[in-house]
């Protein structure tokens, strides 16, 4: 599993920004999967996720037992 140096920055209201230093595609994929798992665990629906200001679809997290 690739790791990247990250920072979580609160924005206004319930918005957050995750900063990833010098990330590769693999590291970005790992961060997006973590966000997808968190969104499922918190039962968040229809929350936009932006990468460099562009909306993206989160990956489908694997089923947990």
Residue pLDDT, tens place only, 5-64: 667 677 887 777 777 777 677 778 888 888 888 888 888 877 788 888 888 898 988 886
> What sign has the CA pseudo-torsion 14, 46, 37, 34?
negative
Q: CB–CB of 47/35 below 8 Å?
A: no
What per-residue confidence (pLDDT) applies to 65? 55
Question: What is the reported pTM?
Answer: 0.67
Helix runs in 1-65, H state only: 25-41
What per-residue confidence (pLDDT) applies to 47? 78
pLDDT above 50 (res 1) = no
Count of other CB atoms within 10 angstroms of residue 23: 16
Q: CB–CB of 58/39 below 8 Å?
A: yes
Q: Where are the domains of the chain?
A: 6-56
What per-residue confidence (pLDDT) applies to 5? 65
């Amino acid at each position: 599993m690739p790791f990247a140096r990250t920072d979580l920055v609160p924005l206004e209201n319930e918005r957050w920004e995750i900063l990833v230093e010098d990330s590769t595609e693999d590291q970005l994929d790992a961060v997006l999967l973590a966000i997808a798992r968190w969104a499922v665990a918190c039962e968040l629906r229809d929350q936009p996720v932006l990468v460099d200001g562009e909306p993206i679809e989160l990956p489908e997290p694997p089923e947990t037992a």
